[in-house]
Amino acid sequence: MTKPVVLLAEELSPATIEALGPDFEIRNCNGADRAELLAAIVDVDAIMVRSATQVDAEALAAAKKLKVVARAGVGLDNVDIKASTQAGVMVVNAPTSNIVSAAELAVALMLAAARHISPAHAALRNGEWKRSKYNGIELYEKTVAIVGLGRIGALVAQRLSAFGMKVIAYDPYVQAGRAAQMGVRLVDLDTMFAEADFMSVHLPKTPETVGLIGAEQLKKAKKDLVLVNAARGGIVDEAALYEALKTGEIAAAGLDVYAKEPCTDSPLFELENVVATPHLGASTDEAQEKAGIAVAKSVRLALAGELVPDAVNVQGGVIAEDVRPGIGLTEKLGRVFTGLAGEVAQQIDVEVRGEITEYDVKVLELAALKGVFSDIVEDQVSYVNAPLLAAERGTAVRLVTETESPDHRNLITIRGTLADGSQVSVAGTLVGISQRERLVEVNGFAVDIEPTDHLAFFTYADRPGMVGTVGGVLGEAGVNIAGMQVARDTKGGDALVALSVDSAIDADTLAKIETAIEASKVRAVNLV
């Protein structure tokens, strides 16, 4: 059988090639050479690029077999997403690959601008000792404004908080409660310019954000403002920034991105109060390797017919950034559901509540079904065939959405009806800045436990001594408990012990626990 062809249009790390594995024919071309690219792309199944290769409508028209465009990085300015979607081509990127590197560079530019690192360095190299001229300012106890509190903005806020800075942010798409969890106060644009001593931009480049910070806004800023843009060129009006820096409306700037790149002749580069780098946000060994490995895995999934969590466009639509973190959790919930049910359900409801229901969450229904059937059928289950497996087994599936979520910002519940009419349910959520996965409900019992590789659930009549009994039996079997939750419906009613353990619990040990506590239901779930 002919192997799928993957075209590497730019130099990628050896780890990227290794992550692709032996199942593909690898070809190379210089994607920056237009003629070479158009000739090479004709019969390939996937193309992997960085930033120099333009995958536009012309290139897509030439690619007769193309299924996937993979950008080994975050930005997609060089990929025509609309044309790709119209051509039925999936676009994937590596949205988290460079976030640490980009956040660290933003902090570095801020420090360099505040302490005049660039001109002091240049003076010293010219044999000049200008210690008194380059007197800087501290970050400590100053107010920093984060413009865009997404993943990178949140990391910058976290790091600058450690400097003892007061952190405010402007982001109309972030709830005040979420910002407060990060120790950040949300403000409007005018308040931000009035209060900020330092400012760091972390917004995507869209028609709404181009020129967001221009002459009018800079006139409202403090005279000692240090402005950093390591996000996308064009968000800060460069002509207005030049005038503000030259006339002393603001104090300094740190820049890594420009409206047109490559950029080597900007008047901004003539100013001593500007520290500038050539778009180095993702230019670390770690970021490049993570990006390459991430998109290589996405290419493998896509060419295998799987739905790819990092796909920018899928089945003609887009997976929203806020929805993507829930995909892995939902798949785990599906597997826990099957472990609890012990059979194929006749009806499954995938309930999604909270803020993410503002977006298309159809992908979470697919993720739930993939999890539900992964441990039931022998064949590989994918996002493509999971609905077919449900239909073949007579399982009716419904996606239910509700904007209200009283107890959690977002809540995903899988609820099913079994052949005997009984109900099984499991719910989960993501918590904190790092979006940690938590199980928060099992069969109506409120819990709070991490969905680790090995889980167990015991339902029994509530009475003293049962928790100790469970621990004793597991101890004798050499099974270590990593986490435990005990819940009950009423005092003396039914109770549930939910456990995460370090190793799988064998059938004999489960039977001993069932007998010892006279459990009405015993279930073990292994997610490995």
Q: 376 and 333 in one domain?
A: yes
Alpha carbons 176 and 197: distance in angstroms, whole number: 22
> Tell me, what's the pLDDT at 254?
98
Q: Do 409 and 359 lie in a common domain?
A: yes
pLDDT at 523: 94
Q: What pLDDT is recorded for position 316?
A: 44
pLDDT above 50: residue 310: yes
pLDDT of amino acid 319: 74
Tell me: do 229 and 130 sit in the same domain. Answer: yes
Query: Checking phi first, is residue 283 left (phi over 0); if not, alpha (psi -120 to 50) or beta?
Result: beta
The pLDDT value given to residue 394: 86
In a shared domain, residues 254 and 356: no
Please give the pLDDT value at position 377. 76
Q: What is the pLDDT of residue 61?
A: 95
User: SS3 of 150, please?
Assistant: coil
**CATH number of the domain that residue 12 is part of:** 3.40.50.720
Asked whether the beta carbons of 522 and 482 are under 8 A apart, the reply is no
Task: Indicate the pLDDT class of residue 317, thresholds 50, 70 and 90.
Answer: low
CA–CA gap between residue 49 and residue 44 (Å, rounded): 13
* 515: exposed, middle or buried (Cβ count in 10 Å: 0-12, 13-18, 19+): exposed
pLDDT of residue 75: 77
Q: Which of 450, 467, 487 is the last residue of a domain?
A: 450
Which stretch of DSSP H or E encloses residue 169? strand 166-170
Q: Is residue 281 part of a domain?
A: no
Examine residue 344 and state whether it is found in any structural domain, yes or no: yes
Please tell me whether residue 106 adopts helix, strand or coil conformation.
Answer: helix
Side-chain half-sphere of 77: how many Cα atoms within 13 Å?
Answer: 15
303 token code pair: 């060419």
Note whether 429 and 330 are same-domain residues.
yes
Residue 327 clears pLDDT 80, i.e. is over it: yes
Whole-Å CA distances, 227 to 23, 53, 63, 256, 528: 48, 31, 43, 12, 47
pLDDT exceeds cutoff 70 at 384: no
User: How sure is the predictor about 77, in pLDDT bands with cuts at 50, 70 and 90?
Assistant: confident
Please count the structural domains in the chain: 4
What pLDDT is stored for residue 489 in this prediction?
86
> Considering the domain boundaries, does residue 351 fall inside one?
yes
> Do residues 60 and 162 share a domain?
no
107 and 191 part of one domain = yes
Indicate whether 323 and 384 sit together in one domain: yes
Chain segment 36-65, per-residue pLDDT in tens? 999 999 999 999 999 899 999 999 999 999
| Residue-wise pLDDT tens digits, 248-270 | 999 999 999 999 988 999 999 99
Around Cβ 484, how many Cβ atoms within 10 Å?
A: 16
Pair (113, 223) in one structural domain: yes
User: If you average pLDDT over residues 464-468, what whole number do you get?
Assistant: 93
400, 350 contact by CB (below 8 A): yes
Percent of the chain with pLDDT over 70: 97
Cα angle for residues 518, 417, 340 (degrees, 5° grid): 40
Task: From 450, 483, 513, give the residue that closes a domain.
Answer: 450
Identify the pLDDT of residue 76: 85
Distance CA 392, CA 395 (A): 8
- Tell whether 440 and 464 lie within a shared domain: no
Residue 416 confidence (pLDDT):
96
Alpha-carbon span 57 to 84, nearest angstrom? 8
Same domain, 136 and 249: yes
CA R_g for the chain? 27
Q: Is 224 part of a structural domain of the chain?
A: yes
Domain that holds residue 470: 452-528
Hunting for tokens 């015993």 — which residue is that?
522
* E strand or H helix at 366: helix 362-374
Which amino acid, residue 489? D
Specify if 257 maps to a domain. yes
pLDDT at 284: 92
Structure tokens at 315: 């089945």
The residue out of 276, 300, 328 marking a domain boundary is 276
Helix (H) or strand (E) holding 440: strand 436-442
Q: At what angle do helices 99-114 and 151-161 cross, to 10 degrees?
A: 50
Q: Assign 314 a pLDDT band (cuts: 50, 70, 90).
A: low
Per-residue pLDDT at 226 exceeds 90: yes
Please give the structure tokens belonging to residue 310.
């990092």
Whether 389 is covered by a domain: the verdict is: yes
| Both tokens assigned to 477 | 């079997």
Is the preceding omega at residue 172 within 30 degrees of 0, hence cis?
Answer: no
Residue 356, C-beta contacts closer than 8 angstroms, at least 6 positions apart? 320, 322, 323, 326, 410
**pLDDT tens by residue, 294-308:** 999 999 988 887 778
Nearest-10 crossing angle of helices 507-516, 466-476: 150
Q: Mean pLDDT of all residues in the chain?
A: 92
In a 13 Å sphere around the CA of 322, the CA atoms on its Cβ side amount to: 18
| Residue 47, domain member (yes or no) | yes
Side-chain-side CA neighbours of residue 414 (13 Å): 31
Instruction: Give the catalytic positions in this structure.
Output: 232, 261, 279
DSSP 200-250: EE-----TTTTTSB-HHHHHTS-TT-EEEE-S-TTSB-HHHHHHHHHTTSS
What number of other Cβ atoms are within 10 A of residue 286's Cβ? 12
Model pLDDT for residues 354-381, shown as the tens digit of each residue:
999 999 898 899 899 989 988 887 665 7
Let me know if residue 136 belongs to a domain: yes
Residues 218/239, Cβ–Cβ less than 8 Å:
no
Tally the residues of the chain: 528
Segment 168-181, tens digit of pLDDT:
999 886 778 878 98
- pLDDT tens, 86-137? 787 888 998 788 899 999 999 999 999 999 999 999 999 999 999 999 999 9
CA dist 442 and 448 (Å) reads: 10
More confident residue, 121 or 206: 121
Q: Is 278 a residue whose pLDDT tops 60?
A: yes
What is the spatial distance between Cα 442 and Cα 185, in angstroms, rounded to a whole number? 35
Question: Is pTM beyond 0.85 here?
Answer: no
CA distance between the termini of the chain: 31
Say if residue 449's pLDDT is above 90: yes
Region 272-278: what's the mean pLDDT?
97
CATH number, domain of 330, equals 3.30.1330.90
Same domain (yes/no): 90, 146 = no
Question: In terms of DSSP H, where are the helices of 48-87?
Answer: 57-62, 81-86
What is the pLDDT averaged over residues 23-35? 95
**Buried/exposed code over 152-177 (b: 16+ C-beta within 10 A; e: otherwise):** bbbbbbebbeebebbbbbbbeebeee
